[in-house]
Every structure is written in structure tokens, then in C-alpha cells.
Amino acid sequence: MSGNTITHDVTVTAEQTGTTRGTARDTSFAPSRAARELGLRRRDFDLAVRLGRIRTVPDDKGGGRRVARDEIERIRAGAGFPEALRDSIRVVGTTEGAALMAVTTARFTRLARLGLLVPMTFYVNRYRAVVWLYLADDLRQFAADERNAALLKGRTSEGLRDQLTEGLDLRPRNWRGRHLGFLLSQADDPWSRAAAMASLLGPVDVSEVVRDPYERSHLHRFRPAPPTHGTPGSPAAHLAEEIMTATDPDEIDWLRTDLAGAVEAARRQRPAPSPALRPVPSAPPGRKSTPHGAQETGRLRGLLGRIRRKDS
């Protein structure tokens, strides 16, 4: 999280619109620019947004989320900036996290698999292994809580050991829950909320809950972009997609239930558009339209007239 602090003044070139007050785009920054203004790498900026350290606003032209100039100034004026901001979003892996909590890496992994330590993010390394990252603040708070003392130093109970032996690993599910919370916090539209829930379900589950194809198509428009892990279609991308899709039956059930409720709420507020019947084009003013049937009748009469003249 190291890096030199960017100290240049925040400036915005507003378009001259003839009014004294500009649009939201005039007084806000795109994420890449906002990250530079705060001296953050883009991935650290995205993490700060996920954690609510940096508040974003919708782009009034539909170009994604932006950061208001006032928000940049508020953060820069905070005590200990930028070190305090960087420390609040610091993430660590298993080895560093275990050292931070003064436990072995094996115990740290057990606590994480049991769902007691919730991952903040993950990536797929070159060996196609998932590397989970945890918020350092979360780990410090867990270790400082006296109620967790037995978990940090005592022997793991037989019941928990049996679950681990059977393959229990709640890290993907806990990450999905945290990720969904972030998506819902960013959703400013009822269809966006529904799409956030749909993004954690497989296509079959979504089609079974949302049976109307036009609603599914509309829902897809609001589907949030998944975190990028490798090039599309790569093994790393496929592995990340598996992590982002619910697999536990009870998790799938509550996501389906919440999706159904969210779509119903969105439908009541603003139904999804569906194709209307195409109107029959009318004849230009001053001209009579000639129906197809009338044309065929005229041809038939002409043919009968020629036959009668030939026979006479």
C-alpha cells in the first residue's frame, strides 16, 4: 500500500452552460482520476469504495459511478491522510494475517474455513489456486475480542474438526455475502437490486424465478460487471465464476426468494419493456391505401374479362 502522496490541487474544468451551477459530471471525477487525486492505486481505490471509505454518486449521463469533488476534498482533509486511508483498506493473505493475529497459518485457515474470518477479496494465482485476502482491521478486531480467546489458543472442538474433515469451507459463501452487500449498497434502481441478486445465481435458477423472457433481458441490462480475474474464458476466469455463483442449497433458496421479491417490487414500480405490435403503416395524406385483398380482386376481374372476350 505504499506510494507517494499526490499533492496537487483538485481542479475541475466545468463546461460553460450559461448557468451558475454545473451538472454532476462537471463537479465529479471518474474513478481513475479520483484514484490519482487520492494517491491510490486503482485496485486500492475500488476496495475503498467497497468498504464505504469513498462515497460515489451515479453518473448523470449513465457512464457508471463517479466521485464528487466535495468527497475528494473531505477525504484529503481527514486526519492522517493518506496513511490512515491506506491502513483502513489494507488487506493481507494467510501468512501475514496469521502473524497479525499471532496464530499459526494452519489455525488461521481453519478459522477462515469455519466462516469466522470473512475474506474481503481474492485472486487466482499462476498455479490456478485461489488466494483469499482479508481486511487487516477485521483480523485485529477478531484477535482483540476476548470472546475469541479460546478459538485462538484452545483446541478446536471435535464438532468443528469433523466439519472441516468433511470439507467445510465457508470462504466462498462468506465472500459472496459480502460482495452482495456492496452491490446492493450501489444499486440506485429496483432493477439494479434485483440484478445484484441474480448475479450470484446460475442461469437456470434465474430463468426459473424470472419466467418472462423480456424481464430476464431487462434484468441482464442491469447486471453488475463481475470482478475481473484473468482473461475471459481462461481457467482463472472460470474458477472465479464458480466462486461467484451460489452452490449451497440453502443459499440458493434464499437468493431465489429474494430475487423473486425484488423483481416483483421492480415490476410494480416500473415494468420491464416488452415489444408492442407493429402498427400498420397508413397511406400518405391525399392518397388511398390499397389493401392487398383489393389488388388481388382487381387482377382476378381483369383475367375473367380477357377470358370472356376470347370466348365471344
Q: Residue 179: pLDDT band by 50, 70, 90 thresholds? A: very high
Domain boundary among 169, 186, 213: 169
Residues 176 and 163 in one domain: no
pLDDT in tens, 112-139: 999 999 999 999 998 889 999 999 999 9
Omega of the bond prior to 82 within 30 degrees of 0, cis? yes
Confidence at 24, pLDDT banded by 50, 70, 90: low
**Residue-wise pLDDT tens digits, 279-289:** 444 444 444 44
- pLDDT above 90: residue 18: no
What is the average pLDDT across 148-157? 91
Q: What is the mean pLDDT of the chain?
A: 84
| pLDDT 10s digits, 262-274 | 999 999 999 999 8
pTM value is 0.77
Closest CA to 192 of 65, 26, 82: 65
Q: Would 203 be classed as within a structural domain?
A: yes
How many folded domains does the chain comprise? 3
* Beta partners for residue 92, in sequence order: 134
Phi, psi of 134 (to 5 degrees): -125, 150
Domain holding 199, by residue range, is: 172-269
The answer on pLDDT for 312 being more than 70 is no
Give the tens place of pLDDT for each residue, 62-87.
778 999 999 999 999 999 999 999 99
Q: Do 262 and 210 share a domain, yes or no?
A: yes
Letter for the amino acid at 10? V
189 and 248 inside one domain: yes
